[in-house]
Structure 1
Amino acid sequence: MLRPIKTEKEYDNALAHVYELMQTDIVEGSAISDELEILSLLIKEYELVHYPVSYPNPIEAIKFRMEQMNLSENELSDLLGTRSRKSEVLSGKRKLSLSMIRKLADVLHIPANVLIEAY
């Protein structure tokens, strides 16, 4: 019988059991499929409580995406309006405005919830 996961040992056992189940041929709607689905939900709930994911610093996220996209600081200046605004944002002296967040989310594909985090 499946029960809520309350300890690290139960969590480890649940992960091992999911691995075992994944090694079998799973038929949609079968008892094994249902067990796997419920166990996955229990693991997810445990992880949300015990391993919360924090969002990155918005400025670090911008710099990271710029590097990934080979975007120059001049191109970021064009996106944010001016070179001085870009410098103020990257140095943390200026907070991101709603319009900046929209542009950055659209162009750099950074989720808005990351960009609105405090820094």
Structure 2
Amino acid sequence: MSGVRIIIFVTCCFFGLTSCSFHNINMQKGMYDYKMNDYRSAFIRLKPEAIYGNPDAQYAIGYMYYYGKGVYEDRDRARYWIQRAAAKGQPLAIAALSALAVEKKSFPVVPTM
């Protein structure tokens, strides 16, 4: 019985580590695409990371929605993603929310990693 438990434990650990590695690589490639102004590719890579809960990806997705970079412009979705990132302490998202509160058009550009 304990052998089965060990196998299950090792299997779970393996898949957990593989998943973390995939998310890290996807995030890195998405941020690279973002910095290279390939916003469509960045959006495709970063959206799952934003859904997964990464605040930098959430801010980047919000930024792209706000300005229509790589995706159609949607201020409501932009605010949604920026608020989620700000709630997790992402500093650029917090600054962006302040800018949105006073209805300024621009806010910090480059998300941090």
TM surpasses 0.5: no
The structure that is helix-richer by fraction is 2
Task: Indicate the structure whose relative CO is greater, using CA pairs within 8 Å and at least 6 residues apart.
Answer: 1
TM-score (norm 2): 0.29
TM-score (norm 1): 0.28
